[in-house]
Structure 1
Amino acid sequence: QILMNTGSQQFGRPSFGAWTTYGLGSESSDLPGFIVFSSGKKGPSGGNSNWGSGFLPTVYSGVQFRSSGDPVLYLSNPPGVDDELQRDSLDTLRELNQMRLDTVGDPEIATRINSFEMAFRMQSSAPELMDISSEPEHILQMYGAEPGKPSFANNCILARRLVEKGVRFVQLFHEAWDQHGALVKDLKGNCHDTDQACAALVKDLKQRGLLEDTLVIWGGEFGRTPMVQGGNDGRDHHPNAFTMWFAGGGIKPGITLGESDDLGFNVVEDKVHVHDMHATMLHLLGFDHKKLTYRFQGRDFRLTDVHGELVPKLMA
């Protein structure tokens, strides 16, 4: 997970979403530029390192939203506190933080000031945004979504709504695919949870005229072995060959790139490394992956480190 999301197997590196918002900035003053949702029994094992900002300023870190209610805990005012009192409190807090910022010059204090201000604006913008009950019934049915019931399908609708509001990067996690056992039963469950909603998201973006400008990526951090593991119908981890799909955002439609051997064990044609994928994704977002850098501890870092080549066959 860490390699797939940050380009490095070391913890502490910026995630792909953080690099994207660092490069593109944010179009929305009321919402973070990078938002994360998670569905399933638990979140990804790599935790918030998968969407963290690493050594980039924390303003570029992903913000994890909940699927219903307040997107982040304690966003709503507590009982007895109205907007005027909240504004007065934030103004006082801002003055104190600004005094500290002027004294020590720590940019993280500036990020804290901006985060409090954004949270205040989200109090008015987020409730309507998060309420998918306003969606037409045929849209809810197309996704297989149920308002008020957290699910991957609901998160797909929320992702589309966030894109419409100008959020640059939305990442959805769904757990769990780690089927070392009970593959036949559990895989069917995962497919039930995700297939319809993914197809609906691509269709919905296209019919709203958003797909050409939105890059949609589906995949995991590795595949599964082609042979059964043990006697309980499971499959082991297998990074040698696995599949991802892409849509919109400059992707050449209707193609299959790459080929495995007869067993599905190794790639034998058009192998693509994680660094190549990152380089291509950045290219589609308008960046040269070799030039999008950040100086940290005396060295210029980038998402692809010293690796990565574009995959022209993937691009329209």
Structure 2
Amino acid sequence: MHPRRPCRGASGSRRRRIAPLSSGGLLMLETLNQALLVFLPVAYGGTVTWYWLSVRGPDLIPRWRPQAWLVATVVLHAILLVVRTSLLGQLPWTTYYDTLLALSFLMSLTYLLVEFSAREASTGMDLLPWPFVMVLYAAMFGHVEPKPNPALDSPFFAMHTIPAIGGIAAILVSGIYGGMYLKLERVIRGKRFGQFFERMPTLDVLSRMNFVAAATGLTLVTAAIGWGATWYGEMFQQVNIFEPKIFLTLICWTVLLVLVIGRLSRRWPDRLTALLSVAVATIALISIVIPAFPFIAFHGHY
């Protein structure tokens, strides 16, 4: 089943918004795209390795080196997204693999901002392997050259997908911090004060990181649902809330809303916040995996 043809008022002009590239420019972008898909996983692997070394052998490397490598990797990732945007003439997440590239970029960027603001780099070894795996999977199994989808020329597409992917990234980051909170709490209760305890920030700091990421996720998912209802309804004439992707997103939004309200009431234990954030992140991961199955409908088409 394919999506119905959207009206011109919903999607605007079908022409690509970026001027056509010359043959030489197109060849250069295609070559750069393929090269970046090779080097980006290597850069992420190097970043994870540097953060691992900063924990296992902090006296062996300068403290600034992991952060510098991460900044370079995020910049390289941003260049890849710009290149794919130029090739498409629209936002570069028209496929499942492109969505993984965007999601991993936003996760890395979110962590980088948290690290600079909190001046705490000890959690990089726990969080950065996630975007590394996403980038590696997308580069290995995704399409090398993206193909534009005329149905996605609508400005509502950008207004919906940017907060949607950003919200999922924030939810995953929140879940990782929630998991670290629960693990550190268990270590403290068991009085097993090993290397994990030494390198982790305090429970209070992890709880704040967890809540800020969860609140950010709630804000972005709310915006994505609002714009998505407008865009999706105009494209497909109806909204099926029981479609797996939409249904799971609504569950995530509901649990996040309960989590944020409970935390702001100041009667909500930090442990429960951590547990709920892990649960929401698990649901978000399931919603990411679902579109990979060709027999499951995704936003009105297969």
**Which structure is richer in relative contact order (CA contacts within 8 A, separation 6 or more)?**
2
TM range (shorter): under 0.3
More strand by percentage: 1
TM-score, normalising length from structure 1? 0.25
TM-score, normalising length from structure 2? 0.26
